A = this chain, B = another copy of it.
Amino acid sequence: MASKSAPIWTDASSDLLKVTRGFVLGTVDPGSTPGFTGDKTDAQTVGRTAAESLAHQQEMLFANSREGDQRKVLLILQGMDTSGKGGIVRHVLGAVDPQGVSHVAFKAPTAAELRHDFLWRIRRQLPVAGMIGVFDRSHYEDVLIGRVRQLAPPEEIEKRYDLINAFEQELVDDDTTVIKVMLHISAGEQKKRLLERLDRPDKYWKFNPGDIDERMLWPGYQAAYQTALKRTSTAFAPWHVVPADRKWFARLAVQQLLLKALDDMVLTWPPADFDVLAERARLAAS
């Protein structure tokens, strides 16, 4: 049992991040740590235990899939450049057996992908039973950069919100737990992180001059996020907005959201689908 002073993460903490009716992105402080009273060191303590739990739960999810259980998890990560999507993958998913994680980073669509519906390339990368799929960017780009850069006519963009909701309903009906996370950073923090990429030769490769072009469109992106969050945070696939100016908080929060999704599955080890005693006898004789 936790002592009364040790900061913990509760289900209520997760709920605080959920996007519900009346949500306004502009009122969320990217530097805040809603639902967690501890500091970085406390977060690391909570995180270490959670990492073991996550690895254990994922193995059970995988084990059950071998026996026909169709359940899988899809974690969708969105956020402005430098918001820490890659760090989440490295630090949170890094604790899980690589055999149980299927990671996809969606870039600008190729010419071949553009000849299909925007969901076509997404469908091809969906996690199979037993897996935790992680999308670093996703179909949401088609209502984010797609909207801000006017990559499609407004009436086409408009249709996509409903198409996305219908698509995600399909995923849920197919036993997918969909966890949607927006990593929310401030413009000031982004400037600091981009500057670091320009100051350190080991970070140059992460920098793209186009990042500054996108940065110039900050208000447009915030507005596109607000619309997307409002239109696509459903009961079956809600959005979570995770304040991300403090990396340690964002990592803790996403780890806990993932862990809660697995806990809610009430996983156990699958029973033997063979006669244990008979197999033991066959083995002894071999």
Contacts and interface: CB of A to CB of B under 8 A. Distances in A.
Interface string A197-220: 010011011111100100110000
Interface in A244-286: 269-272, 274, 276, 279-280, 282-283, 286
Contacts of A223: none
Interface residues of A, number: 44
A76 to B, nearest CB: 16
Given A212-B283, A283-B195, A98 B99 contact: no
A93 interface: yes
Instruction: Please indicate which of the listed interface residues A86, A269, A271 has the most CB atoms of chain B within 10 Å of its own CB.
Output: A269
A90 B99 contact: yes
A201 B269 contact: yes
Nearest to A59: B202
A64 B272 CA distance: 47
Contact of A272 (B94, B207, B282, B283): B207
Given A67-B205, A272-B207, A279 B212 contact: yes
Copies of this protein, total: 2
A211 to B, nearest CB: 9
A132 to B, nearest CB: 10
Contacts of A134: 98
Given A198-B280, A279-B212, A286-B191, A269 B204 contact: yes
Given A89-B98, A98-B90, A66 B205 contact: yes
21 contacts: A63-B205, A63-B206, A66-B205, A86-B99, A90-B98, A90-B99, A94-B98, A99-B105, A99-B136, A194-B283, A195-B283, A198-B280, A198-B283, A201-B269, A204-B272, A207-B272, A208-B274, A209-B279, A209-B282, A212-B283, A216-B286
